[in-house]
Structure 1
Amino acid sequence: MSFFFKVASRGRPSPQELVRSIKDSLLALDTRTGAKALEDAEKNVSTLRQTLSGDGEVEPNQEQVLQIALEICKEDVLSLLVQNMPSLSWEGRKDLAHCWSVLLRQKVDEAYCCVQYIENHVDLLDFLVVCYKNLEIALNCGNMLRECIKYPTLAKYILESSSFELFFQYVELSNFDIASDALNTFKDLLTKHEAAVSEFLWSHYEQFFELYTRLLTSTNYVTRRQSVKFLSEFLLEAPNAQIMKRYILEVSYLNIMIVLLKVFVANPNKPRDIIQVLVDNHRELLKLLENLPAGKGEDEQLDEERDLIVKEIEKLVHSSV
């Protein structure tokens, strides 16, 4: 039996008919094997996309779109769509990710019905985060997660969940595309909702910065560079002022920054762009370094690192004159 709703014979299906057809075809993936079951499911997802966004000739009916969103939540199809995403082809996953973004935007009486559904089924968010480990669906999951992060309650859940720590691994994955996508999601989590992020950073300060320090000291140059840049961005946001003041009072973090600066300055094969940045900003850098307090005891190495950096910057300035 085919679970694909044949639009051609009866015109467009009603929201209830379409959602039922989608549900039946997705459930069939668990009980049937072969290309036919997958074909039915993907045709239904494609029909869902056309109904939600139009097909280039017919514009979507907004009332019908809203009814589909309500029906999808009522029938638990939103969960089925996520759970069966790994079974779909590249095109099917692309259609699903598109439908996801449209569905999340649907509102009833100022409430986002699909967002509310996810709030009551937060395991879907954990599933999407973990899917970054799956090479085939990682980028689709990244797109879907970033759609979720637009909504404060969903972003807050991810930040406070145990799944959040996985991003510190994902941004260092060997696959550049996936690592970059994970970094984009990570950035959205820490910038989209300033008040919630500030509260999270304050209440999870030690845990968060212990993990972040691993990125700052990574053996991967790109990871170190991106981590330093992003750290300065979110610490300088107004709601994070108290977090920044707390951070810059800790000598251990200062030592890390000095070592990172040394890596750039002491590199005998510095790219021209790096040299130009150091030369252009030499006055500010030297002033900052000279104003650092003298180290004592274990912190005496900080003085040695500082002196080396100062000498290297001065050499660069003199050679550029």
Structure 2
Amino acid sequence: MFGKKVRTPEELVTKSHAALERLRVDRTSAKDVESVSKYFGEMRALLLSGDASAQQACETLVVKANACGLVAQIVSHLPHLPFETRKDAATVFNCIVRTSVRGHDVVVEDLSENPEVLEAIARGYENSDVALTFGAMLRDMCRNETLVRKILYGENFWKMFEYMQLETFEIASDAMATFREALTRHKDVAAEFLNANYERFVKAYTDLLEKGNYVTRRQALKLLGELLLDSANVTVMLKYVAEVENLCLMMNLMRDESKSIQFEAFHIFKVFVANPDKPASVAMILSKNKAKLITYLEDFQTTREDESFQSERSMLLSLLAELPDPE
């Protein structure tokens, strides 16, 4: 008789929407902050219940939230909410976006037509208080093919190169994790994006590898190697290894003071050497530096306990030895 009141999905959405509207006018309203915290906690519990009997209630909540613009409200208010409430709000956002209604991704469809919300989330890295929360939301959206396409082709994606170099280590690392997710989750979409924006992407990536901090450079090199060696990106790989500037960059990075950076650069350098259709300019650079490269690679990380790497190093030495001597 005196049990806890169970609010319907409609009530939860309506009441949270109204409380957020009041907070937009008065951020200091403790009563509304408390109410928002309570409603988001209840929505989070419902959406994460995993109970088949709650599926209809979840779908009702999603439809109602989408109709009243709750998703955009969450993004707008997130920086102003208490830490725990912020976590619940972000989880509710992710669940609402993820939940389909009778086979239709209704929120995804609306979000993809509302670039302002996606841009606001992407710019979240500029606010240190909420950067990690927005980063987690952005990565969750990257799971959806429609949304990751919008994220990649949005102008704000290019700011990721700045965010990955921020002084705050946690935020820079989080930005790198999001950058990786956007480029590896849906490989066909990423390959299309990389092909369409090849010159701009490579220029920004080169700047990152030349000027970034140690951690960013190491992670970026590792990701670049994975992208180039993925069969989905064969067109991009062939373009990349046909350019002398990229070869020279990898040769320089193999001489970096960090063994980890040397190692990641090696895995990209080997593609230049193994390419059977080297352009004349790339073949000439390799031939001119043949003796120095062989001498260097003979002593290159010989103590590394990695049979695959040692086998590749031996193969590379053989391929270099087969190159014609410089004229």
TM range (shorter): 0.7 to 0.9
The equivalent residue for 2:34 is: 39
Tell me, yes or no, if structure 1 residue 104 matches structure 2 residue 100.
no
Paired amino acid for 2:295: K
Paired amino acid for 1:157: K
**CA separation in 2, counterparts of 1:114 and 1:294?**
52
Q: Where does residue 117 of structure 1 map in the other structure?
A: 110
Selected match of 1:19 from 5, 13, 36: 13
Aligned residue identity for 1:311:
T
- Partner amino acid for 1:198? A
2:242 paired with 1:249: yes
How many equivalent residue pairs?
296
Match 2:82 to one of 61, 64, 89: 89
1:28 aligns with 2:12: no
Question: Are the counterparts in 2 of residues 262 and 309 from structure 1 also a CA contact under 8 Å?
Answer: no
Q: Give yes or no for contact 1:170–1:182 (8 Å, CA) kept in 2.
A: yes
**What corresponds to 1:155 in structure 2?**
148
With structure 2 as the length reference, what TM-score do the two structures score?
Answer: 0.80
| CA distance in structure 2 between the aligned counterparts of 1:71 and 1:99, rounded to whole angstroms | 13
Q: CA shift at 1:179, angstroms? A: 1.1
Partner of residue 180 from structure 2, selected from 187, 193, 197: 187
The C-alpha deviation readout for 1:46-101, integer Å capped at 9, x for no partner, is 122122224x9x98711111100000001111111111001111101111121122
Matches of 1:51 and 1:207, distance apart in 2? 44
Structure 1 counterpart of 2:44: 49
Contact 2:94/2:137 (8 A) holds in 1: yes
* Cα displacement (A) at 1:309: 4.9
User: Is the 8 Å Cα contact of residues 22 and 44 (structure 1) preserved in structure 2?
Assistant: yes
Task: Give the whole-Å Cα distance in 1 for the aligned partners of 2:182 and 2:225.
Answer: 16
How many Å apart are 1:180 and its aligned residue? Answer: 1.2
2:152 touches 2:193 (CA, 8 Å); kept in 1? yes
**Counterpart-to-counterpart distance in 2, 1:295 and 1:194:** 30
- Cα distance in 2 for partners of 1:194, 1:202 equals 12
Cα contact 2:13–2:64 (8 A) shared by 1: yes
- Identify the range of structure 1 (29-38 vs 201-210) with the bigger mean alpha-carbon deviation: 29-38
Percent of matched pairs sharing the same residue: 30
- Alignment correspondent of 2:227: 234
C-alpha distance after superposition, 1:146-166 (max 9, x if no partner): 111111111111111110111
Q: Residues 141 and 35 (structure 1 numbering): CA distance in 2 closer, same or farther, change over 3 Å?
A: same
Change in 2 beyond 3 A, CA 1:60/1:24: farther
> Against the structure 1 CA distance between its residues 120 and 106, is the aligned structure 2 distance closer, same or farther, given a 3 Å change threshold?
same
Distance in structure 1 (CA, Å) of the matches to 2:168 and 2:60: 40
Let me know the Cα RMSD of the aligned residues.
Answer: 3.3
Q: Matched residues in 1 for 2:139 and 2:285: separation?
A: 45
1:126 matched to 2:110: no
The 8 Å contact of residues 129 and 141 in structure 1, kept in 2 or not, is answered as yes
5+ long unaligned stretches in structure 1: 1-7
Does the CA contact (< 8 Å) of 2:94 and 2:140 recur in 1? yes
Q: Give, in whole Å, the separation in 2 of the partners of 1:21 and 1:153.
A: 30
TM-score (norm: length of structure 1):
0.81
Q: What CA distance in whole angstroms lies between the structure 1 residues aligned with 2:20 and 2:224?
A: 43
Q: Against the structure 1 CA distance between its residues 21 and 63, is the aligned structure 2 distance closer, same or farther, given a 3 Å change threshold?
A: same
For 1:20, the aligned partner's letter is T
